[in-house]
Amino acid sequence: MLSFRAKLPALVTITLTTVAAIGIMLVAISWTGVISFTKTQLIPRYEFVGFTQYVRLFDTERFHVAFSNLFIYGGCFISITLAFGFLLAIMIDQRIRAESLFRTIFLYPLSMSFIVTGLAWQWFMNPTLGLQKFVRDLGFADFSFDWLINPDKAIYAIVIAAVWQSSGLVMAILLAGLRGIDRDIWKATAIDGIPAWRTYLSIVLPMLRPMVMTCVVLLAMAVVKAYDLVVALTRGGPGNASDLPAKFVIDLTFERANIGMASAAAVMLLMTTIAVVAPYVAYSFHKLRR
Amino acid sequence: MNSKIIGRIGIYAFLAVSTAFFLIPVYIMVTTSLKGMPEIREGNIFALPLDPNFSAWFKAWSSACIGMACDGIRGGFGNSLKIMVPSVILSVALSSLNGYALALWNVRRAELMLGLLMAGAFIPYQVLLYPLVIMTRTLGIYGTLPGIIAIHVLFGLPVLTLIFRNFYASLPTEIMKAARVDGAGFMQIYWRIMLPMSPSILVVAVILQVTGIWNDYLLGLIFAGRDNLPMTAQLNNLVNSTFGEKEYNVNMAATILTAATPLLVYLASGRYFVRGITSGAVKG
């Protein structure tokens, strides 16, 4: 058994790092919670006003746009990235030539800043510079690809850029999963005459469930944190059409000096995050204990 | 036999189209950055440059105007280095020590702390930012280099600690027992036994932090202060707020220059890079 004296350096280390970090985060979260119930605008004013900030928040048009965009963006981004990434993994797993070259190409966007990704796609999707101009110059005068400046489509422009950035991640995780599956499954299904696509969908996919879970959580976290990409690609525009909660909170805090309401929105964002990842954290924590 | 050939053609066709999708933005940026402005205005965005030259790159690096200053993006490069190097060293050193203490020293409530750290890795920054601004301002480090470094260390700690803790927890317990019997203490075991066993996990952690901190935009914008704005923030200012005619070639050259550092890290270290990105969530 370790004596207290021997353990002391470990305890000091943990106090100065883990405990301090957890402490700071808990204090900061509670602080934001408290501020959301006060009149605070530019500087903290601890005059409690109950749920007034939340009521104001729910009366704010831009908040509704941002939160409904969160679900449109999250739903499209996660489902497309999962499907595309899974397809890429399957294709790469077909004993192809130059496998590592393809893998490198599919993964490199992951190393880039969301700012870079946003700007890179901004030019391709810019109607007067990019694809629309190119196709029109070819002679198709009616061709239109104006998602960046179209309020109904701008959020989908962000989906495209985000899929580009993240599909490689899904591919890498699921490819590792595919490589771990017993090859005899393919002999068995071939004997039974089951087509390959059916085998992937009904047999392989369920076997990859833990990896798919991991992907969903990583992608969901990217959705909740999505700020830089919006700033670089659309700046939330046109108008507020492609706004997301993360950007809404930052703008209200640092540009509009409306910190009470920003805190209320941040609390709503935290609640959404908890609803999404709590089951996953509980599950991994359970696994950790064993 | 025929259907098999058709199948192979289908696979390669899919891979080719996907490759085009992944390479289009970079192709556009590289070719456009090598063109002059008249050629960009008149030609099409997919055309190869007629007279490729690097003048836009030099301008982006050292003389493009960001706001009032016309020193290009090189200042941002220096700032990003000044932020990144100490942040990476500090966060990796603290997290490895922390992970080692949590994994091998039978500390009470270690599981609870790990659970909270894991939750910490998932908290959206937005809930923490304003109180952190007040805290750093109280300490007098808001808008300074030490301020942004402290913030990066704080946000890096949860994931890195989990990575190191899982690594040290997977080592055979006999190593610790033997070292303890020989009378080695906490730091001695860390320096002489644990660190020499962990080069691969150190590489994973360093790569994760180098790319993560280099690519950060939001934290640098808020906590680094005007004089220390990282390269990503200066790039966004350059591209998204220039007045007058947009110099697309300069903007794209600046974008490539900003992306170059993490891209080179990725190309030099592919396997470790992927492990870092996934390990926080996969193994946790």
Domain ranges of chain B: 2-53, 74-282
Can you give the pLDDT at residue B1? 58
- The minimal CB distance from A29 to the residues B40, B128, B259 is found for B128
Q: Measured between CB atoms, does A46 come within 8 Å of chain B?
A: no
Residue of B nearest to A223 (CA): B124
Can you give the pLDDT at residue A75? 94
Task: Give Cβ neighbours of residue B15 (< 8 Å, ≥ 6 apart).
Answer: A91, A92, A96, A102
B279 confidence band (pLDDT: 50, 70, 90): low
Contact B130 A253 (CB under 8 A): yes
Can you tell me the distance from the alpha carbon of B120 to that of B113, in angstroms, rounded to the nearest whole number?
10
Task: Give Cβ neighbours of residue B280 (< 8 Å, ≥ 6 apart).
Answer: B121, B159, B162, B163
Q: What are the pLDDT digits (tens) for B224-237?
A: 988 999 999 999 98
Task: Inform me whether the pLDDT recorded for A10 exceeds 50.
Answer: yes
If residue A269 lies in a helix (H) or strand (E), which one and from where to where? helix A259-289
- The minimal CB distance from B122 to the residues A31, A115, A273 is found for A273
* Averaged pLDDT, B160-177: 88
Spacing of C-alpha B160 from chain mean position: 13
- The minimal CB distance from A134 to the residues B14, B44, B186 is found for B44
Q: What are the pLDDT digits (tens) for B26-65?
A: 999 999 999 888 888 887 888 888 888 888 899 889 888 8
Can you tell me the distance from the alpha carbon of B136 to that of B146, in angstroms, rounded to the nearest whole number?
10
- The minimal CB distance from A2 to the residues B18, B106, B215 is found for B106
- DSSP states along A135-165: HHHTT-TT----GGG-TTTHHHHHHHHHHHH
| B36 touches B51 (CB < 8 A) | yes
Task: Inform me whether the pLDDT recorded for A42 exceeds 90.
Answer: no
Can you give the pLDDT at residue B244? 67
Can you give the pLDDT at residue B21? 94
- Give the residues across from A38 on adjacent strands: A48
* Averaged pLDDT, B147-162: 93
- Residue recorded with tokens 């990144």: B84
User: At what angle are helices B2-33 and A99-107 packed, to 10 degrees?
Assistant: 50
Can you give the pLDDT at residue A197? 85
Can you give the pLDDT at residue B130? 92
Residue of A nearest to B99 (CA): A14
| B91 touches B209 (CB < 8 A) | yes
Q: Copy the structure tokens of residue B87.
A: 């942040």
ipTM: 0.89
* Averaged pLDDT, A54-78: 91
Q: Which domains does chain A have, with CATH numbers?
A: 36-289 (1.10.3720.10)
Task: Inform me whether the pLDDT recorded for B203 exceeds 50.
Answer: yes
Q: What are the pLDDT digits (tens) for A195-216?
A: 888 888 888 998 898 889 888 8
Q: Copy the structure tokens of residue B170.
A: 């997977």
Task: Inform me whether the pLDDT recorded for B138 exceeds 90.
Answer: yes
* Number of CB atoms found within 10 A of residue B3's CB: 7
Can you give the pLDDT at residue A290? 59
Q: Residue A13: its chain B contacts at CB < 8 A? A: 97-98, 101, 186
CATH topology of domain B74-282: MetI-like fold (1.10.3720)
Interface subset of A 194-233, CB within 8 angstroms of B: 211, 214, 217-218, 221, 224-225, 227-228, 231-232
Can you give the pLDDT at residue B228? 93
Q: Residue B274: its chain A contacts at CB < 8 A? A: 107, 172
- Pick the closest to residue A88 from A13, A8, A167 (CA basis): A167
Residues of chain B with pLDDT > 90, as a percent, come to 46
Residue of B nearest to A14 (CA): B98
Can you give the pLDDT at residue B283? 39
Q: Residue A131: its chain B contacts at CB < 8 A? A: 45
Mean pLDDT of chain B: 88
Q: Copy the structure tokens of residue A281.
A: 């954290």
Task: Inform me whether the pLDDT recorded for B108 exceeds 90.
Answer: no
Half-sphere exposure of A19 (CA within 13 A, CB side): 13
- With H, G, I as helix, E, B as strand and everything else as coil, classify residue B142: coil
Can you give the pLDDT at residue A149? 85
Residue of B nearest to A134 (CA): B44
- Pick the closest to residue B122 from B92, B148, B158 (CA basis): B158
| B151 touches A21 (CB < 8 A) | no
Can you tell me the distance from the alpha carbon of A234 to that of B120, in angstroms, rounded to the nearest whole number?
30
- DSSP states along A75-137: HHHHHHHHHHHHHHHHHHTTT-TTHHHHHHHHHGGGGS-HHHHHHHHHHHH-TTTSHHHHHHH
* Averaged pLDDT, B202-220: 92
Interface subset of A 178-197, CB within 8 angstroms of B: none
Can you give the pLDDT at residue A101? 92
* Averaged pLDDT, B108-130: 86
- DSSP states along B96-134: HHHHHHHHHS--TTHHHHHHHHHHHHHS-GGGTHHHHHH
| B121 touches B158 (CB < 8 A) | yes
Q: Copy the structure tokens of residue A44.
A: 């903290």
Can you tell me the distance from the alpha carbon of B156 to that of B148, in angstroms, rounded to the nearest whole number?
12
A288 confidence band (pLDDT: 50, 70, 90): low
Residues of chain B with pLDDT > 70, as a percent, come to 96
Contact B105 A102 (CB under 8 A): no
Contact B130 A119 (CB under 8 A): no
- Cα angle: B222, vertex A116, B257; to 5 degrees: 100
Residue at A6: amino acid letter = A
Q: What are the pLDDT digits (tens) for A107-160?
A: 999 989 999 999 889 888 988 888 888 888 888 888 888 888 888 889 999 999
B119 confidence band (pLDDT: 50, 70, 90): confident
- Give the residues across from B69 on adjacent strands: B66
Task: Inform me whether the pLDDT recorded for A86 exceeds 60.
Answer: yes
Which of A34-48, A147-161, A196-210, A261-275 is predicted with the least confidence, judged by mean pLDDT?
A: A34-48
* Averaged pLDDT, A269-280: 83
Mutate to test the interface with A, among B27, B107, B123, B127 (most CBs of A within 10 A): B127
| B223 touches B233 (CB < 8 A) | no
- The minimal CB distance from A228 to the residues B94, B127, B217 is found for B217
Q: Residue A91: its chain B contacts at CB < 8 A? A: 11, 14-15, 18
Q: Copy the structure tokens of residue A68.
A: 């409904």
Spacing of C-alpha A91 from chain mean position: 25
If residue A213 lies in a helix (H) or strand (E), which one and from where to where? helix A209-225
Q: What are the pLDDT digits (tens) for B62-104?
A: 888 887 788 888 999 999 999 999 999 999 999 999 999 998 8
Can you give the pLDDT at residue A161? 94
- Give the residues across from A204 on adjacent strands: none
Radius of gyration of chain A (CA): 24
Contact A28 B236 (CB under 8 A): no
- The residue with greater pLDDT, B280 or A221, is A221
- Cα angle: B35, vertex B262, A82; to 5 degrees: 100
Task: Inform me whether the pLDDT recorded for A244 exceeds 50.
Answer: yes
Which of A16-30, B204-218, B270-284 is predicted with the least confidence, judged by mean pLDDT?
A: B270-284
| A144 touches B62 (CB < 8 A) | no
- Pick the closest to residue A62 from A262, A274, A226, A220 (CA basis): A262
Q: Measured between CB atoms, does A128 come within 8 Å of chain B?
A: no
Mean pLDDT of chain A: 87
A29 confidence band (pLDDT: 50, 70, 90): very high
Can you give the pLDDT at residue A114? 92
Q: Copy the structure tokens of residue B224.
A: 């680094």
A-to-B residue pairs, Cβ atoms closer than 8 angstroms: 257
If residue B195 lies in a helix (H) or strand (E), which one and from where to where? helix B195-197
Contact A129 B114 (CB under 8 A): no
Four-CA torsion A146, A109, A205, A272, nearest 10 degrees: -70
- Cα angle: B83, vertex B86, B92; to 5 degrees: 120
* Number of CB atoms found within 10 A of residue A30's CB: 11
Mutate to test the interface with B, among A111, A148, A171 (most CBs of B within 10 A): A111
Spacing of C-alpha A158 from chain mean position: 12
Contact A130 B265 (CB under 8 A): no
- Give the residues across from A48 on adjacent strands: A38
Q: Residue A169: its chain B contacts at CB < 8 A? A: 277-278
| A63 touches A57 (CB < 8 A) | yes
